[in-house]
Every structure is written in C-alpha cells, then in structure tokens.
Amino acid sequence: MSSVIIVDYGMGNIKSVLRGIEQVGAKATLSADPDVIYRADHLILPGVGAFDDGMVGLERYGLVEPILRFSKSGKPLMGICLGMQMLLDKSEEHGEHQGLGLIPGVVEEIPRVSNGVVRKIPHIGWSALKQVDGGCDWKDGYLSHTKIGDFVYFVHSYMAVPIHKLHLLSQCEYQGLSINAAIKRDNITGFQFHPEKSGEVGLKILKEFINS
C-alpha cells in the first residue's frame, strides 16, 4: 500500500485530504517532521488561507528545505489550493512574498473586473476542467482518467500564473476569465481546486496520485 505524507503546518482543513487519500486506498499520515517529510513516498502540501501565513507556517516548522529536497527526489509532490500557489516564485497577496520557487511564476489576485465583466470574488463553486493548447498532456499526469468537462470544486481569491505555458495542465473558465486549475512540472503537480472535495471526479485524481 502506498503511504502518503500530508504536510501539517497549521493551515486549514487537512482532515479532508487525509480522508480522501484513505478513501482511495492509501495510508495517509499528517506530519510536520522534516525527516518524515523528506523521506515520504508521496507528499501532499495542502492549505487554505493567506499566502504569507502559509510560508511563515512552513518556515516556523523548518519545512521549506525538506520540501525542496523532496521535490528533487523525483517522487510525487502534490500541492492543493494554497499548497499549489506556494509552489510558485512569489505572491502579491497582502504585499509581495516569496514562495517555494518550484514552478516559475507568480500568484495574482483574480481581477474583479476584466473585459467588461464584473465578477464575484472569491471564486466559489464547481467549474469544468479544460485542456490547454501548448500545455501538459493529461496522459502524463493525474488527470489521465479525468474527462474534459469534468467538474471540480474551487474556492479561492488568488490564482497561480506560471510563466511557461508548458507547465499548464488544465484551466477552467470563470465569468469570462481563464483560471489555471492545474499546473505541472516533472514530478510536481499543483491543483487550484480541491480534489478531496470534488466528489468522485476528485477521488479519481487522488487515486492516480497514490498509484504514481
């Protein structure tokens, strides 16, 4: 049975991630121990809340270095929501803050107005996953069993914007705006949506992660 370590750094509802992983048949453990994190087979960086709180949380537990080392091992690393955003270089949420720098790019506020559309922020709800021209192939990642147009659950006010299109795995459309729903670079994948809260579609994604 695969074993998954979920980084427990005090940000948000990680119980759901744990339950989701158990549901698809793996053993999941919460940990803030740098050694356990570095040695994990599969690592999940979860989180909801503000970007700077998240990075401060990782630093307080001394977890930045172990996560960076883990990412270089080639073993699967998945960031969810805030955990996905922290994979990038920096964020503009409440001032500029450095991220983990694993995928080149920045985290920006979802524009309240663009192309003449006034949109509701936060983006809360279910949106359909689309493929990206010039982006990553779904066959190579955790979306290989996901269908184009499958709905997943989002809740966020900021969005990840990688510099390179080839790191885009999936987008969704929200009131006239393309939002990056999934990003991927080698063994590192980030989901803006919550697979653990996206019903059967999300569980299928978690299942592919544990089997990778």
Instruction: Quote the CA–CA distance of 56 and 17 in Å, as a whole number.
Output: 21
In DSSP terms, 5 is beta-bridged to: 29, 43
Length of the chain: 212
List of residues contacting other proteins (CB under 8 A): 12-13, 15-16, 19-20, 23-25, 48-50, 53, 82, 112, 118-122, 124-128, 149, 151, 153, 155-157, 173-175, 194, 196-204, 207
Tokens coding 2: 């695969």
DSSP class of 130: B
Exposed, middle or buried, 124 (CB in 10 Å: 0-12/13-18/19+)? Answer: exposed
- The minimum distance between CB 30 and other proteins, in angstroms, equals 11
Instruction: Quote the CA–CA distance of 163 and 169 in Å, as a whole number.
Output: 13
- The minimum distance between CB 68 and other proteins, in angstroms, equals 25
- The minimum distance between CB 24 and other proteins, in angstroms, equals 6
DSSP class of 132: -
Tokens coding 199: 């019903």
- The minimum distance between CB 87 and other proteins, in angstroms, equals 18
- The minimum distance between CB 199 and other proteins, in angstroms, equals 5
Angle at 75 between CA 98 and CA 15, to 5 degrees: 70
For other proteins, the closer of residues 32 and 203 by Cβ is: 203
Catalytic residues: 81, 194, 196
Instruction: Quote the CA–CA distance of 157 and 108 in Å, as a whole number.
Output: 9
For other proteins, the closer of residues 14 and 88 by Cβ is: 14
In DSSP terms, 192 is beta-bridged to: none
